[in-house]
Chains A and B, each alone.
Chain A
Amino acid sequence: QVQLVESGGGVVQPGRSLRLSCAGSRMKFSDFGMSWVRQAPGKGPEWVAIISTDGSQTHYSNSVKGRFTISRDNAKNTLFLQMNSLRPDDTGVYYCASQCEGCLDNWGQGTLVTVSS
């Protein structure tokens, strides 16, 4: 079945940048819109961003707009999240997920981002 594997998480100081990746396999990656969803420790999920199949359309949550950029490389079956000006409240597990109609069907296991000095 569909496999999504996130990478790139780690510990980063406030104000710095980090780039997450999500590799898709066992799927025709270019056929799916893709999202990033994050979850702070002990909290519920928060939708972060979404990108259309060809990358031409993107949407962001208000909390990351202007700081984060979602992109994709369909030739490499990979989704990205460029995170700039990181803040402590950006800390959490970041999941990538494939899009169904108004929903998210396949999820990765997540990668942990910790923003701390």
Chain B
Amino acid sequence: DIVMTQTPLSSPVTLGQPASISCRSSRSLVHTNGNTYLTWLQQRPGQPPRPLIYKISERFSGVPDRFSGSGAGTDFTLKISRVEVEDVGVYYCMQGTDFPWTFGPGTKVEIK
């Protein structure tokens, strides 16, 4: 199975300041078709996960452009350009390249 790791596990941030989360996979997420299936999801307390980014850097419909994704191979990053109150929650990366699909452990974003 592909193991996903994230750093940091907790990220206290100041409102209006940027935040960055790293995700690493135990092996390359490049599919045989050339695509890389790395998704970022946000989970607010008491809510189901909400997908933000797919295929490394594509935003789902309705996701604010302050969220951006980057990376390649085994190393990926989610950036929030200016953190807002509504961004508080836990962020997960997930790989959909190989079965079983696997999630990272999560990064808790909270306001300082």
Binding site for B on A (CB under 8 A): 35, 37, 44-47, 50, 59-62, 95, 100-105, 107-110
Contact = CB atoms under 8 A, between A and B. Distances in A.
A40 to B, nearest CB: 12
A107 B54 contact: no
Given A47-B102, A50-B101, A102 B96 contact: yes
A110 B102 CA distance: 19
Interface string B88-111: 001010101101111111100000
Counting chain B residues whose Cβ lies within 8 A of the other chain, the interface size class is 20 to 34
B55 interface: yes
A100 B35 CA distance: 13
A107 B102 contact: no
A29 B64 CA distance: 27
A6 to B, nearest CB: 10
Given A103-B54, A110-B48, A45 B92 contact: yes
List of 7 A-B pairs having minimum Cβ-Cβ separation, nearest first? A102-B37, A102-B96, A47-B101, A103-B54, A59-B99, A107-B48, A103-B39
B48 A95 contact: yes
Contacts of A102: 31, 35, 37, 39, 54-55, 96-97
B32 to A, nearest CB: 12
Interface of B: 1, 31, 35, 37, 39, 41, 43, 48-51, 54-55, 60, 90, 92, 94, 96-97, 99-106
Which of A47, A61, A102, A110 counts the most B-chain CB atoms under 10 A from its CB?
A: A102
B97 A105 contact: no
A44 B100 contact: no
18 contacts: A37-B49, A44-B105, A45-B103, A47-B102, A50-B99, A62-B100, A101-B35, A101-B37, A102-B55, A102-B96, A102-B97, A104-B39, A104-B94, A105-B51, A107-B48, A107-B50, A108-B48, A110-B48
Contacts of B104: 44
A60 B48 contact: no
A61 B2 CA distance: 12
